[in-house]
Amino acid sequence: MKLIIPDNIEKIDRDTVVKFLDIKPGTTEPSWALEGIGISDMGIEFNPQVNSEKWVIEKNSRNDHSSNQKQSSISKECYKNDPCFEFIHSCIDKLNCKTHILDVEFWNEVEDGVYKAKKSDGKVVVTKYLSDKTVIEYDLYYDGDPVEGTVTMTKGVPTFTPSAD
């Protein structure tokens, strides 16, 4: 049997899913900087928390997916004047270095120039600085539930609008 793939299927390119970090998280308005300079691979690990219970009258377990512990483990080559590098560098030796994370899906356009996005509170934990290469490694932890919404871009700067839900 020959499979029929619908005509409207389109591949999503990696550069259409981007992450911005708030590099001045203590201020009233976020100061978003695009994360990705010096990074060749970056994803989000969900680290699902699944509780299992098997009743004596059943052969198979019941599973409850109770939460996720989202994080990104990032290895970044260091570039002077990269706002994200300079912010991450400022987190060295700090505990609970706070930020906000904005994940934008530029492939997922809601209307002309408006894209699906999620905003989360986050923390930066530097795990390694320097080696044979000039690299900074860190974990970016997502705190709590994300706020769903949309983003519009003006001169390369995102403006996040929460959904009305």
- Residues 39-79 have pLDDT tens digits of 999 999 999 999 999 999 999 999 999 999 999 999 999 99
Distance CA 57, CA 54 (A): 8
Question: Under 8 Å CB-to-CB from 161, ≥6 apart: which residues?
Answer: 149, 150, 151, 152
Largest CA distance in the chain: 63
Write the pLDDT tens digit of every residue in 142-162: 999 999 999 999 999 999 999
- Chain length of the chain: 165
Q: How confident is the model at residue 14 (pLDDT cuts 50, 70, 90)?
A: very high
Residue 3 amino acid letter: L
Q: What is the pTM of this model?
A: 0.91
What are the structure tokens assigned to 87, written together?
């912010």
Q: What are the phi and psi torsion angles at 29 (to 5°)?
A: -110, 140
What is the average pLDDT score of the chain? 95
| Residue 53 CB partners (closer than 8 Å, separation 6+) | 61, 62, 64
Q: What is the mean pLDDT of residues 33-37?
A: 97
Q: Is domain 14-50+63-162 annotated with CATH 4.10.410?
A: yes
